[in-house]
Structure 1
Amino acid sequence: MSRLRNLSLFLVLAAVWGSAFVAIKAGLAYFPPVLFAAFRYDVAGIVMLAYAAYAVDDPIPRGRAQWLEVLSGAVFIIAGYHALLFVGETDPAVTSAVAAVIVSLSPLLTTVFARAFLPAERLTAVGVLGLAIGLVGAVVLANPDPANLTGDGTVAKLLVLGAAASFALGSVLSRASDADLPIETMEAWSMLLGAGLTHLIAIGLGESVADAAWTTESLLALGYLSVFASGIGFLIYFDLLDRLGPIEINLVSYVAPVFAAAVGWILLDEGITGATVAGFLIICVGFGLVKRDAIREELRGAGVIG
């Protein structure tokens, strides 16, 4: 039952974060990129702090260890990841496909950081092979233009790579923390502090609230990203991070593009090509290799294998 719960939450997270790409694309037409990310976590942080006040006995971090865990999430997972990603994607040379491929490096980058901070999280050779196959699937699914990958926008592509590295490092540091901090409290304060840092970055880049256009579409995009992709999404993420570890949970970056393609097809009339189907199947193979032991146990428990 625990494995089924984890798998269900994993798929929900992939669906929420995958569909968020549609909302991000919509919102970037109305907001400056870093300011858009800051607004997103202004709202999400307030919502999550209210929920933390309701759900836990003490919604305020106490002591150095707890505040360090909050700070690592604010700096690397909230501010660092989103500021770098949103700025990188404003470059015309960095298409959604190119960005998806680069961000899909997150599980591989996580294994690198885990070797330094979490020796127990190391994968076997078969697990590493599974990660590599999953990356191939993400590339096939995104179907990027090879000429565009090697063309202009080198700095922007490095920014997106930095975003993936920031997220991976933040995941590992959160897992490595020995602070006994409720998920709700950690998430709320990381979002609020991360939003503040992101506002400072926006000011440094010269972005202004006057440049934002407040329309029905922009508010819907902001609301979806704040409540669902950020609030509910990160609540699931940090819960699974504690249960599965950073390497396995960051495999969500392989699965999310599948849902992004499906939502894009339903809402934006984006076609699902043979590359989409092939990429999905390859991702399934890679995921199966990484999770082979858990799958074997589920099949044994169901009586499918002896």
Structure 2
Amino acid sequence: MPHRTAADVALTAMAPVAWGTTYLVTTELLPPDRPLLAATARALPAGLLLLAVTRQLPRGRWWWRATMLGLLNIGAFFPLLFFAAYRLPGGVAAVLGATQPLLVAVLGAAVLAERPRPGRILAALAAVAGVALVVVRPGAGLDALGVVAGLAGAAVMATGLVFTRRWGRPDGVSVLTLTGWQLTAGGLLLAPLTLAAEGLPPALDGRAVGGYTWLTLAGTAVAYALWFRGAQRLPAMQVSLLGVLSPLTAAILGWIALDQGLTLAQAAGFAVALAATALGQLPARPGRVRAAVREPKRRAVLVGD
């Protein structure tokens, strides 16, 4: 793997690792039963902070593009994620979320003309199986609305990733600026929904302030900037496969910080999911890349003739 690509993968992987801390922070530090407040408190302050730092607003068509990306990546994804988590016990929501690379493969072929390699398709399937072994508990129930919400959440996030890569960013606009636009748009869409569903926020103690601060800065502002950076530099399916690191990180933190047990099946699932994610990052063979480059040239000569 070229040095630059390896560095891009490593930086992008830091985003789902940071997202994987959300479960522990939410259960141990934040007020209970306030999922939409947590989502809004993550997105809106982070977006406004980045806007204050970059001091640049969208222009022209980027007003609606930033709003659309903010809706897909933040405003719609967060509520669907939390709704599925509440309706689906035993980590089923995490398994549905792990299907995102398969959805990206379909959307990427249609929107980006990125044909996924068979190896990455197999890696995505193995990752889903591995995550299921790690997080699904015996007797986990299936709720129809929860399943729909989980799949819809994976779909909107996959769509956001694909269009983030398709549209790139305007000339002279940094990744931090584009991230700020999306987080602000998503947060503004979440705020009225949060007030309507959960009312005004409660009084916060020091633990809650610390938890929200972590989620806002590390778990959102930094993490999404790294994620969107990766989406513009790496193939969409390669990026989406890194998302598997989020439930794996959550499981590791649960084992360490919450003293949750680790079964042999969970250990095997963890190894399978991690190996699948790593295999999904391998670049195409040079021979295949050269063939792909030569083919358009051959067609160009025929057309010219």
TM-score range, shorter chain: 0.7 to 0.9
Is contact 2:67–2:182 with CA below 8 Å preserved after alignment?
yes
Would you say the 8 A contact 2:30–2:212 is kept in 1?
no
* TM score, norm. by length of structure 1: 0.84
Report the equivalent of 1:302: none
- CA distance in 1: counterparts of 2:6 and 2:95, whole angstroms: 28
Q: Does 1:73 align with 2:69?
A: yes
Native 8 Å contact 1:33 1:90 kept in 2: no
Residue 268 of structure 1 and its aligned partner are, at CA, apart by 1.6
Equivalent pairs counted in the alignment come to 282
Residue of structure 1 equivalent to 2:298: none
Match of 1:22 in 2: 24
Q: Contact conserved, 1:18 with 1:259, CA < 8 A, in 2? A: yes
Equivalent residue for 1:83, pick from 79, 100, 108 = 79
CA contact (8 A) 2:168 2:232 kept: no
Distance apart, 1:29 and its partner CA: 4.0
Among 88, 108, 112, which residue is 1:118 paired with?
112
1:5 corresponds in structure 2 to 7
Cα 1:29–1:98 shift into 2, 3 Å: farther
Equivalent residue number for residue 303 of structure 1: none
Question: Does the Cα contact within 8 Å between 1:69 and 1:186 map onto a contact in 2?
Answer: no
Matched, 1:133 2:126: yes
Alpha carbons 1:69, 1:174 under 8 Å: kept: no
Q: Deviations over 1:38-72 (max 9, x none)?
A: 1221221122223323xxxxx211111x2233112
Q: 1:140 and 1:177 mapped to 2: Cα distance?
A: 36
TM-score (norm: length of structure 2): 0.84
CA contact (8 A) 1:30 1:213 kept: no
Q: 1:84 to 1:143 in 2, by over 3 A?
A: closer
Bigger Cα displacement from structure 2, 135-144 vs 72-81:
135-144
CA contact (8 A) 1:22 1:264 kept: yes
| 8 Å contact kept, 1:80–1:163 | yes
CA distance in 2: counterparts of 1:289 and 1:15, whole angstroms: 18
Q: 2: CA distance between counterparts of 1:228 and 1:188?
A: 14
Which ranges of structure 1 fall in alignment gaps of 5 or more residues? 54-58, 298-306
Q: Can you give the 5+ residue segments of structure 2 that lack an aligned partner in the other structure?
A: 287-305
Could you tell me whether the CA contact under 8 Å between 1:46 and 1:192 is conserved in 2?
yes
Report the residue type matching 2:233 in the other structure: R
Q: Which has the larger radius of gyration?
A: 2
Once residues 174 and 64 of structure 2 are traced to their aligned partners in structure 1, the CA distance between those partners, rounded to angstroms, is: 14
